[in-house]
Structure 1
């Protein structure tokens, strides 16, 4: 099917023809035939790299040309950024007066983001979409096309209930809206399509053939053939990747843990480095410089050494700058091998010639090492093969015996992905969504609430009588904690409305409120522990060496905790110690302990520290708002303390640095240098000279700093040669030129 034959505006057709896309893949053509451009709901369950995103683009552009607005829902922030960058290229398509606009929203769960309504395509995570609905953002009713990427995540215990309820609300809010659901792996695709009232496109077609095999006995074994692999090292996975590199390809290696990822990337690097030519080494050195510049921990140095050798590791413990450097380096074929935890299989566009699944077992805190689901295997295997670049893609599992090889063929290579099941039927999942459903007016009675639940995927799969008791328990909890009132008619209280818009679990709200009321002496530790007690905060695990240290800390600061469980209740007390340990990590962060010392002390990654800080900032903001609501009942300054802590968590800094770290580009490390050398305020910097500031934070950063506070620099000449001068004038054309000269000068 030719692009130019589609029922699309001429501008859209020209855009794709100029992009080199002239013909549709078979699954794409099948989707068109099922009414994609006629407004039909579609579930496309087709392999990775088979053109799912193009389907969404065509439907969105057709809708926008007809005056509509599109919402693109993704599971991850990184994926949101990737899609946003792609859709920005549509700005040149003149399908409407004023041009096509694209917006993105992934954070700040208490914001309506009304400004986004001026965009034609809005990219958002499922959690952000849910929060926009809770905050009654007006433009949500204008959406005419909804794209749900990675819809199989309905099966996720963490993300599934939010995605499910969000889709249910959107279908009720915009009953005529077109829904396009995308996934590479849905076992029960017919059931999901039926729930969405969607036409199903089910295909195994790929633009690049995928060969799935199991390595054993020196060969990659397929069902009907073998491929011999030279044994160059004792490590089977390294032999497999060297075979790929010798053939001009790249490798993704999936490991079961972060520790194993790092170890494998280091080992593989000693062999991969031998294959690198000088231009590649020079390109890698440039990436290494950026890694070091964007890192403060020993892990940064390890990553830099791996990249220098042509390998890298990728997991959630890396900071966002390092993850992007690794991803871009791999896309540009500079980094030849990435060893990753399954994070890379969750939607990021990073295909490779060969995918090696080094371990098909993953640690479960309840059951130990367990085999991964088939769905996860299919997601990883689907990364194999770069369209138009590789002649084929290969996915290889590694077996250590013949019986294990046969088991891997039966359980993974030849197996179908598991059915996905709604995870909405528990009190933990329902509690927050019942409150938001009532607050937003989707239900005002118990019967109305059950009617809403009847529209969910859970009800599509199960009889709703099985959930009635859980719903009643949630309602009892919400009434008991003064978030709802009324029996016949369910009415949210001001507290209930606030908790819903803050986007926190009602149980988190109850814990915070109870703690604020019980605490006799509120300190930073009191508030930090309160937020770490909530179910919204992920907890650090207790290691054997932690118990004595954390317990001693609790004993010496006992008056600062709102409540300490009795030690006789071993499980409760151990959980409490984990909460305290988590609180201590955030306290180290705001007290300006180095990232390196924090990551070593708590055995976490740079990215983990930032992730903990992001959640803590959100929960501390919620605490300040809740304390404000309770101010008439409480005689304390907890609200003001929480506001200050919120800012400190955001910047990772002591109170005296807040003014300096608020300047863009001046992080806590540079701010501390300035402060300790007498430059304690913006006014102090204004009065200072470029030489003094440059000696502390470097010339380029100093130049940017002066620009941020409205002081611009220019190069002038005198008898001694070039010197730098400050000017308070606004940046005019001639000053833009001299500022550019200054950049060259430094």
Structure 2
């Protein structure tokens, strides 16, 4: 490391205290003419840094593309039903915004478009922006060589600094890493060391890796015999790296053990095809439970738990409201990340009807248990933590379906709005998976019709009257509400609408959007009509082997 230059920026005593890393000096060398990214270790840090930088930017920054920044704020308010994050309200006029998973997907998309267009010139962001989002910059600043408390890996570091000076977009790019003395040696290794090796994770997470792979191979009939499956494994990255990765067991032993595990779990069944002194040839076929897991793309770590929960649910399914069904479709993989706020938990529990409280009782979570947790009392009786956490997430989803407002639910449960939206998206996806799971198992016939409607509600998360409008391409919640209030209350109304009349009736609707909405509504209506026509023809079709049967003409029907 050698000396480069001194920063040409006068620092007051106040600024030195507020900005010991000299971020203000570093970003003002670049913005607003060019773009800049500041990577921060945590989400809260992103917001704090964005606000701190704006405090010390001159008023001149407010004039840069002022009208367009005003439009960005207006669009943010519109998409969030009048809500606007106070941090963004303060920073966007300066051309600055934060970017992390706490934002909703619509907010992220809008801010990314504004950044790409040059309306916003500075993002304070977490490392998640480094992968998958194409947002290049003239200068990239890493505020610390950490992601949360973990020191940066070289591959992630390269991803982050790779945003600077993207070929074909910019001619120059530079990255700046801010260090403390204690991190100097590690940082030197980070900058000069080789990239980490890439290894197969197929066996590290058996249920998501090798077990799911084997179930898919047999379910799709790509490979059904032990020999064919073993041969397939040789062609995977894991098969190529087996000498490096396998210390105690051979690839053959892992293949045999994995198939035995799936057989023991009741997901596969083994058939002995031929038996000789030298060799036993085994074929495998998928069981009903295996096919349900495969068709529903259920994580194999949870398929037995899901089966047990659905079975238990049949014993006392509460249909007074959606609460019981919502619990059954709350994703298992989000449960471990959940940390309930016990005061909120107790308050939400007390808002349930007696029938809904019975659902919690069936799950083994009593009001007294939640009350004791809220008051900090010791609890002797053991309660399944995963069930308790899953029920808490169910409260969030249940409240969200009733209020259909991510902002109010986020505030009510003190959770980031991005987290609430991710939970909703995960629940909609998992509900669809559970539906496909139930379609393969006759005993769960009762769930099929119920889950079709719930999946729709979770997917669109709007008032019931807006769901049909939300099916139209290009119509989100705000637009659906505008259309509904203007008298377009069904697909038929929209399909028969005149695009020119729509433009005059609906605010901020372009001619292209109006034509797309009408065209999409017509297509949807036609698809539904064709589906009903096919259903009618199936009902009227008389089996040819029925004695003396004469099929009535469709025209007459």
**Shorter-chain TM-score: which interval?**
0.7 to 0.9
Q: Secondary structure at the match of 2:30?
A: helix
TM-aligned CA deviation for residue 420 of structure 1: 2.3
Q: Does 604-613 or 343-352 show the bigger shift?
A: 604-613
The runs of 5 or more residues in structure 2 that have no matched partner are 272-281, 370-378, 522-557
**Alignment of 1:380 onto 2:191:** no
Of the candidates 604, 608, 619, which is equivalent to residue 430 of structure 2?
619
CA contact (8 A) 2:47 2:98 kept: yes
TM-aligned CA deviation for residue 346 of structure 1: 0.5
Task: Give the distance between the partners of 1:697 and 1:427, measured in 2 at CA.
Answer: 53
Q: Secondary structure at the match of 2:263?
A: helix
**Alignment of 1:278 onto 2:78:** no
CA contact (8 A) 1:244 1:354 kept: no
CA RMSD of aligned residues (A): 4.0
Q: CA 1:505 to 1:490, structure 2 compared with 1: closer, same or farther past 3 Å?
A: same
Alignment of 1:288-687 (within 5 A): 288-296=73-81, 298-300=83-85, 302-363=87-148, 369-387=149-167, 392-400=172-180, 402-404=181-183, 406-425=184-203, 426-429=205-208, 430-463=210-243, 465=249, 474-487=258-271, 488-519=282-313, 520-522=315-317, 523=319, 524-535=322-333, 539-543=337-341, 545-546=343-344, 548-549=346-347, 557-560=356-359, 563-564=363-364, 573-631=384-442, 633-634=443-444, 637-664=446-473, 666-668=475-477, 681=490
CA contact (8 A) 1:537 1:615 kept: no
The runs of 5 or more residues in structure 1 that have no matched partner are 1-222, 364-368, 713-746
Q: CA 1:539 to 1:558, structure 2 compared with 1: closer, same or farther past 3 Å?
A: farther
CA contact (8 A) 1:241 1:251 kept: no
TM-aligned CA deviation for residue 670 of structure 1: 6.2
Q: CA 1:684 to 1:321, structure 2 compared with 1: closer, same or farther past 3 Å?
A: closer
TM-aligned CA deviation for residue 694 of structure 1: 10
Task: Give the distance between the partners of 1:326 and 1:514, measured in 2 at CA.
Answer: 44
TM-score, normalising length: structure 2:
0.73
Q: CA 1:645 to 1:538, structure 2 compared with 1: closer, same or farther past 3 Å?
A: farther
Deviations 1:322-344 (A, max 9, x none): 32332233233332211111122
Partner of 2:535: none
TM-aligned CA deviation for residue 642 of structure 1: 0.6
CA contact (8 A) 1:482 1:495 kept: yes
TM-aligned CA deviation for residue 299 of structure 1: 4.9
Q: CA 1:275 to 1:446, structure 2 compared with 1: closer, same or farther past 3 Å?
A: farther
Q: CA 1:393 to 1:673, structure 2 compared with 1: closer, same or farther past 3 Å?
A: closer
**Alignment of 1:251 onto 2:36:** yes
CA contact (8 A) 2:39 2:125 kept: yes
Q: Secondary structure at the match of 2:177?
A: strand
Q: CA 1:688 to 1:420, structure 2 compared with 1: closer, same or farther past 3 Å?
A: closer
TM-aligned CA deviation for residue 422 of structure 1: 1.9
Task: Give the distance between the partners of 1:424 and 1:489, measured in 2 at CA.
Answer: 23
TM-aligned CA deviation for residue 295 of structure 1: 2.8
Q: CA 1:594 to 1:605, structure 2 compared with 1: closer, same or farther past 3 Å?
A: same
Q: CA 1:482 to 1:558, structure 2 compared with 1: closer, same or farther past 3 Å?
A: farther
Q: CA 1:349 to 1:686, structure 2 compared with 1: closer, same or farther past 3 Å?
A: closer
Task: Give the distance between the partners of 1:399 and 1:598, measured in 2 at CA.
Answer: 39
Q: Does 314-323 or 294-303 show the bigger shift?
A: 294-303
**Alignment of 1:268 onto 2:53:** yes
Q: How many residues align?
A: 480
Task: Give the distance between the partners of 2:31 and 2:10, measured in 1 at CA.
Answer: 13
Task: Give the distance between the partners of 1:480 and 1:656, measured in 2 at CA.
Answer: 47
Give the structure with the larger strand fraction: 1
Deviations 1:2-35 (A, max 9, x none): xxxxxxxxxxxxxxxxxxxxxxxxxxxxxxxxxx
CA contact (8 A) 1:511 1:530 kept: no
Deviations 1:506-537 (A, max 9, x none): 34433332222111222432222223253387
Partner of 2:541: none
Task: Give the distance between the partners of 2:25 and 2:256, measured in 1 at CA.
Answer: 56
CA contact (8 A) 2:81 2:478 kept: no
Q: Secondary structure at the match of 1:535?
A: helix
Task: Give the distance between the partners of 1:377 and 1:312, measured in 2 at CA.
Answer: 22
Q: Does 669-678 or 531-540 show the bigger shift?
A: 669-678
Partner of 2:24: 239
TM-aligned CA deviation for residue 491 of structure 1: 0.6
CA contact (8 A) 1:665 1:705 kept: no
